[in-house]
Amino acid sequence: MENSQEKKTELESITNKNLTWIDIHEPSREKLMKLTKYHFHELNIEDSLSKIQTPKLDRYADHIFVILNFLAIDRERGLPRPTQPAIFAGNNFLVTVQDTSLKALSEAYQLCKENEKYRESFMGNSSGYLLHSIIDLMVDDLLHILIKIEGNLDDIEDVVFDEKTAVAREISLLRREITTLRRLVFPLKRTILELSKETQRFSEEDLTLYFDDVRDHVDKLIEILDEAKETVEIFKDTDFMLSTEKSNKILAVLTILFTFSIPASVIAAFYGMNINLPGGTQTGPSTFLGQFTSFIILVIAALIPACVMIFWFKKKGWLKP
């Protein structure tokens, strides 16, 4: 019974030649303390458990410790959210610590367990090459997320000029996602440059070209993000201007209608007073146009100023369609 319990608590690992890869999900102090043979620093273990770390790279004589910022899909809301995977890399080992499961990385780990050819291709012969493969995989995953954002931008472009459809919320959500990606991608370029120098001591093969390729992908991400940021800002300004124009049109129509009603309101106010006025109840109604003579006169008196205002507004160009 004791042996079976020990096997259950052992950390899973994959070995390719003399290289070992350990992947830890939902890390805890108990799990990380099982890595005592690698002599990891206590502060690095604390950083691996923390969820509020910024990208960093710590160098030691026999290994390096790095924290990266990427995106993981929130299972409850289905939206990407930041996550900070931690990685320990040494001469013949690599340990990944995921506070939130990164789908692409977890699938790659599973494929390495099941497929020997994929394991040899992905892990290579050194921890430096494996670290490159992991970062390259997660950068490509960021590219897939960015492609979805570009698709959402195209959808907004189709409806931003439709006055019947409100897209302010969608634009705000996209701006938030683009801003989050920019905060992740910009520090990544510097970190990859440092890693390309530090991981070379763990590999006999020259890894410069491999990490340069990842940096090219990051540069492409930055370029696309800059274009997406500029595009979403244009959509935001366009939506604001169209909304403002629509509100101004509504206010203009209401103002004109109110202006046309002023003559009738003034006449109604005079005849609502308890004073003698021609055609009022005190003086008796006029009848030279029939029993509704007073009403007809009042309507004409209200319409004449309104017609004069319509003529004047048209002359000024205020009633253009």
pLDDT at residue 5, as a whole number: 38
Q: Are residues 184 and 287 in the same domain?
A: no
CATH of the domain at 203: 3.30.460.20
* 301 and 195 fall within a common domain: no
124 — alpha (psi -120 to 50), left (phi > 0) or beta?
left
**Which residue carries 């604390």 as its tokens?**
46
- 259 domain-assigned: no
Phi first, then psi: what are they for 283, rounded to 5°?
Answer: -85, -15
Tokens 């990407």 locate to 80
Quick one: pLDDT at residue 122?
Answer: 93
How many Å apart are CA 227 and CA 224, to the nearest integer?
A: 5
Domain count across the chain? 2
Model pLDDT, residue 7: 41
Specify whether 312 is located in the same domain as 168: no
Q: Is the dihedral of CA 272, 275, 276, 278 positive or negative?
A: negative
- Does residue 321 lie within any of the structural domains? no
User: Is-contact 68 87, C-beta < 8 A?
Assistant: yes
Q: What is the pLDDT of residue 37?
A: 86
Same domain, 201 and 296: no
Give, rounded to a whole angstrom, the gap between the first and last alpha carbons of the chain: 86
Residue 250 backbone dihedrals phi, psi, to 5 degrees? -65, -45
Q: Using a CB cutoff of 8 Å and minimum separation of 24, what contacts does 175-182 make?
A: 175/232, 175/233, 175/236, 177/79, 177/80, 177/149, 178/149, 178/225, 178/228, 178/229, 178/232, 179/229, 180/71, 180/80, 180/82, 181/71, 181/142, 181/145, 181/146, 181/149, 181/221, 181/225, 182/225, 182/229
pTM of the predicted model as reported, rounded to 2 decimal places: 0.73
- How far apart CA 290 and CA 156 sit, in angstroms, is 63
Residue 144 located in a structural domain: yes
Same domain, 208 and 290: no
Between CA 181 and CA 205 the distance in angstroms is 32
Contacts of 282 (CB under 8 A, 6+ apart): 275, 276
Record the tokens describing residue 319, joined without a space. 């009633």
**Nearest alpha-carbon partner for 48 in 90, 102, 11, 88:** 88
Q: Which of 244, 265, 284 is the last residue of a domain?
A: 244
Same domain, 195 and 300: no
* Residues 26 and 135 placed together within one structural domain of the fold: yes
Q: State whether 143 and 287 are in the same domain.
A: no
My answer on whether 52 and 103 are in the same domain is: yes
Asked if residue 267 belongs to a domain, the reply is no
CA distance 226 to 278: 74
Q: Return the structure tokens found at 75.
A: 């299972």
In order along its 321 residues, the chain shows pLDDT tens digits of 334 334 444 688 899 988 999 999 888 888 888 888 888 999 999 988 887 778 889 999 899 999 988 877 655 555 667 788 999 999 899 999 987 778 888 889 999 999 999 999 999 889 999 999 999 999 988 888 888 888 888 888 888 887 777 788 888 888 888 888 888 888 888 888 888 888 888 888 888 899 999 999 999 989 989 998 999 998 888 888 888 888 888 888 888 788 878 887 877 776 666 656 565 555 556 655 666 666 777 778 778 888 888 888 777 777 765
Length of the chain: 321
Same domain flag for 86 and 219: yes
Show the domain range for 151: 2-244
Is the separation of the CB atoms in 71 and 83 below 8 Å? yes
Residue 45 belongs to a domain:
yes
- In a 13 Å sphere around the CA of 132, the CA atoms on its Cβ side amount to 29
